A and B are shown apart, each in its own frame.
Chain A
Amino acid sequence: MKIKSKGINRTNWPVMILLIIGLVTIIFPLYMTIVIALKQPSEMTNSIQGILSLPEKFSLANFAEAMRVTDFWHSLGYSLIITLITVALSIVLHSMIGYAVGRNKTKSKGYNFIYLYIVSGMFVPFAILMMPLVKQTAQLGLDNWVGVIILYVVFYMPMNLLLYSGYLKNIPVGLEEAAYMDGSSTWRTYWKIIFPIMKPMHATVAVLTALGTWNDVMTPLVIMSGSGSNTLPLAQLTFQTQFGTNYNLAFASYLLALLPILAFYLICQKQILNGVVNGAIK
């Protein structure tokens, strides 16, 4: 039993040390971003010490300037509105169609067809929809943040439908049957009984949809760029030319763009990890 006493309940120090060293790959880019964002161009030299040394004096001037240049609060506002409304609509609409389709697809060919039709939308790359959508949203007057929300609700439908209808398999039909017997309508049964029961899946859907929409560049880039408003990532792209060679200003702006999601991650780390894993495995 030599192997057992060696292998169990002991910390594996070599692995542990390698993991600590490996953290450098995560921390270094972030450290670099913070240090450069806090410095002035005059403090930067071409040597590696010059770039990576700590700033001589602590100043938030770059951040104030970056906020002004990229119109930070407006971009943040648009990013927040788009993400929050997309998540809310996804939870309400996708769980609803997930319920209707999930409960009927085994019995009805029609619902099974709808299920396959929407889920196969996962294979459609944005590249093919992009050009026609630019024309279509412009014709409908939706070439703005409202259009972006509608598109997200459509783009996340295949994945979320898959998740919700998969989750429903674990919820016994008897629960609804009992409610019908008591005279409750289907609509009411759904909202009072099924919707609350699907709470764990709502969390997964919210995390996946939020991460995806918050960080997305391509959709706002082609749909919103003519509307004069920006999302947070789009603002970085739009103002690239204005930063010129002032990397200190640019990095302050990047850091500002990363901060909201960093804060969100630090607070809801557990839910995010669970959500991502559930979403991928189901």
Chain B
Amino acid sequence: MKKMNEKKRTFLWMTIPIMILFFCFNTLPLIRGMIYSFTNFKGFGSYEWVGLRNYINLFRDARVGNSYLFTFKLAIVTTIVVNVISMIMALALNGKIKGKSFFRGAYFLPNVLGALVVGYIFNYLFTYIIPAFGKVIGSSALQSSILASENNAWIGIVIVCAWQSIAMNTIIYISGLQTIPEDVFEAGALDGATGFQKFKSLIFPLILPFFTINMVLCVKNFLMVFDQIMALTKGGPAQSTESISYLIYNNGMSGGQFGFQCANAVIFFIVIVIVSVTQMNILGKKEEQL
């Protein structure tokens, strides 16, 4: 009996202090953020309760609305681009090629580099190299920087996000492909399954769990995009590339909208939870069916 108590006590000592730390620096600021969202706090000085006014104003604020539209557009397009290319890359890297580990290592490289510095390098590439290249081949579309265009700057951000994320998703798809036994392919080959058909009916269903992981990872990461925006456009031109995180940071920390942006952050939190949970449910159900 004494032994049992010793065990219980030790387990509690292993858990409680760490849990308190988690509470203090995760749950407590979360609660405080929710409280601030009902005030007109500017980040300094005194403040008072404003009830739901911040939330009502959020839905009327065009800048906030645009940042949600931009962020979702970016997340959806980048997720599709990244997953299509990653899948192709994974099939290629898992195929019959020489120097497999070299190629895998090389193609994974972008993922370990810091997003901010990568953003700065691509910023230069978009601003100087591509326009200079446009001059050489005489294309007027390429001669101005993509990042300076209100309509197209987001494409630049998609490219940079994709460049780094494809590496990660490819590696996950490769490990998915490696779980498929060799005889599945051979059986498929005997049945005459080739090309896209083979992929659709044989390979894809078997790596569906890895597809789920990639979808959830991608959407969540891209919805929270920040570094790339900071390095490439700082939300411009004309606020056309302001992501939600960037807007909260920019206006909340230095724009005197502390309380208002806290309300924005609460909505953002709810959106992330809804998106992640829905995604896992839909994709989870699909997996069960198979």
Interface residues of A (CB under 8 A from B): 3-4, 7-12, 15-16, 18-19, 22-23, 25-26, 29, 32-33, 36, 46-48, 51-52, 93-94, 96-97, 99-101, 103-104, 111, 114, 117-118, 121, 123-136, 150-151, 153-155, 157, 180, 185-187, 190, 211, 214-215, 217-218, 222, 232-233, 236-237, 247, 250-251, 254, 257-258, 261-262, 264-265, 269, 272-273, 276-277, 280-281
How far is the CB of B28 from the nearest CB of chain A, in Å? Answer: 7
Q: Roughly how many angstroms separate A211 CA and B114 CA in the complex, as a whole number?
A: 9
Q: Which residue of B lies closest to A180 (CB)?
A: B3
- Provided the pairs A15-B97, A96-B18, A100-B14 are in contact, do residues A125 and B268 lie with their beta carbons within 8 angstroms? yes
Asked if B59 is at the interface (CB within 8 A of a chain A CB), the reply is no
Query: Across the two chains, which residue of chain B brings its CB closest to A23?
Result: B106
Pairs across A and B, CB under 8 Å, 11 listed: A15-B96, A125-B272, A127-B244, A128-B268, A131-B43, A135-B32, A154-B26, A186-B10, A211-B112, A222-B253, A280-B172
* Chain A residue with the shortest CB-CB distance to B276: A123
Q: Pick the contact of B106: A26, A124, A132 (CB < 8 A).
A: A26
In the complex, chain A residues whose CB is within 8 Å of the CB of B125: 29, 32
Please tell me if the beta carbons of B269 and A217 are within 8 angstroms of each other in the complex: no
**Complex Cα gap A150–B270 (Å):** 25
Closest to B171 in A: A277
Count of chain B residues with a beta carbon within 8 Å of a chain A beta carbon: 87
A84 to B110, CA, bound (A): 22
- Cβ-defined contact, A254 with B226, below 8 A: no
CA distance A130 to B105 in the complex (A): 35
Among A123, A132, A233, contact of B272 (Cβ-Cβ < 8 Å): A123
Query: Interface stretch among B75-83, B115-123, B144-152?
Result: B115-123
Q: How far is the CA of A146 from the CA of B92 in the complex (A)?
A: 45
Other-chain contact of B115, A111, A127, A215 (Cβ < 8 Å)? A215
- Residues in A with CB closer than 8 Å to B104 are 273
Alpha-carbon distance A19/B103, docked complex (angstroms): 8
User: Is the CB–CB distance between B172 and A281 below 8 Å?
Assistant: yes
